[in-house]
Each structure stands twice: as C-alpha cells, then as structure tokens.
Amino acid sequence: MLPDETIAARIHVVRTIKVMLDSDLAQLYGVPTKQLNQQVKRNAARFPKDFMFQLKASEFARLRSQIVTARSAEDHGGRRTLPFAFTEHGVLMLSSVLNSERAIQVNIHIMRVFVRLDRLRAGNIELGRKLQEMEGRLAVHEGAIQELLEHVERLGQEKEQPRKRLGYRGGDEV
C-alpha cells in the first residue's frame, strides 16, 4: 500500500476545497488519465459540480508552481486540456466508476487520509483557539505586572521625610 504522505502530498486546496487532480488519481489507481476521464464522462450524472470541476488556467498555473518543487514536471506535463479536480466526495464516487480491486483499495486509503487531514486541521483550530486564550490572559497579567513595577519604582523615588519621634520627650526638646 502507498504511504499516507504520498497521498497527502497530492491533496491540494483549490477554491478553499481539498481536491485531488485527475492525473494524480489516475496514477494512484494505475490507469491512464484519459481512461479515468472517459469513465467520468460516461457517468457524468454521478459527478455534480460539488464533486468535480475543471480547473481554470490560473488555478492550474498556481498549482503547477507548487507541485514542481514536490514532484517532477512530467507528472502533469503534456496536457491538452485543463485537469479536473475531484473533491473528497468525487474521489469516493470514483470507486463506483472504476471497478478494479486496486481502485477500491486505493480509494479506501485515500478516504482515510482525507479523514486524518480533517482531524489534524480540527486539532490545529482547537490549538489556535487555546493559544489565543492564553495570549489574552498573558496580556492581562503583563499589564498588572507593569503596573506593579511602576508603583514600586515610584515608591523608590519618593524622598524620605524626617520622622517625628514618638514617645516621652524631655523638657529641652519641646
């Protein structure tokens, strides 16, 4: 089976949605990209716009600039059309279109990686919220400490006034 990192590296965020490109999915499933896209077109009713969409040229250019550092340009080179991006639900639907044993196993693995990424993101959001709470508390404490230091500094700057003696005074001190 493929390592989680291999699949996670092929999950991209486009239009604030996690997606996988048709060429990446085809490579994982062990089929040509053209065959994957033909199967999708034959079963177009299973892939509404929230399951799959075609990238715009600017989106693909932006993705390609990010992908080049992670993988060779050959992975996405030589295309005549813009790639299709499949959302998590679209990837799930691909398992019903591609009926090979490998496609089913890879699909299950991809779904597990999507779930792990969602859990990580949720954990990061919670961690961020807790950090903001702590920063707020620190700001309050920092203000109180600063106020205390200023007060101590003022006390140190006050001149000591001569103290009047208390108690019994002799006749000549009056």
Average predicted confidence (pLDDT) for the chain: 81
Q: What is the mean pLDDT of residues 71-80?
A: 55
β-bridge mates for residue 96, sequence order: none
pTM of the model: 0.60
Q: Is 36 exposed, middle or buried (0-12, 13-18, 19+ CB in 10 A)?
A: buried
pLDDT in tens, 114-127: 888 877 777 767 77
Please, what sign has the CA dihedral across residues 10, 13, 18, 24?
A: negative
Query: What are the φ and ψ backbone dihedral angles of 117, each rounded to 5 degrees?
Result: -65, -40
